[in-house]
Amino acid sequence: MTRTFCKVAVDNNLPLALITDLQCPWARDYPLDLLQLKTDVGQFWDSTAPLACLLNLIVSAVAEKYGDRLDERSARNRQLQKAFGQFED
């Protein structure tokens, strides 16, 4: 699903940032802003804490930046989600 999302964004000339861990083998296949985080913490399994922290910071920054225009952007995102059949009634 994520690869399809990246392809649709690139095909529609939409700016995109991909956030993933270092294990994503195709992350550099698309011309986008890429944030790859180290999730290997030397334990039995990886930690998603770095991803969760980054996503919280990004959501807060986007909400602050867009302010009252956030509703318009959310409506545009809902239109784009239809390309994936998400959130259908």
Average pLDDT of the residues in 50-68: 90
| Collapsed DSSP state (helix, strand, coil) of residue 57 | helix
Instruction: Check whether 46 has a pLDDT greater than 90.
Output: no
Instruction: Check whether 61 has a pLDDT greater than 70.
Output: yes
Instruction: Check whether 88 has a pLDDT greater than 80.
Output: no
**pLDDT in the model for residue 15:** 93
Torsional sign, CA 86, 79, 83, 28? negative
Torsional sign, CA 29, 30, 32, 37? negative
**pLDDT in the model for residue 89:** 60
pTM > 0.85: yes or no: no
**pLDDT in the model for residue 1:** 83
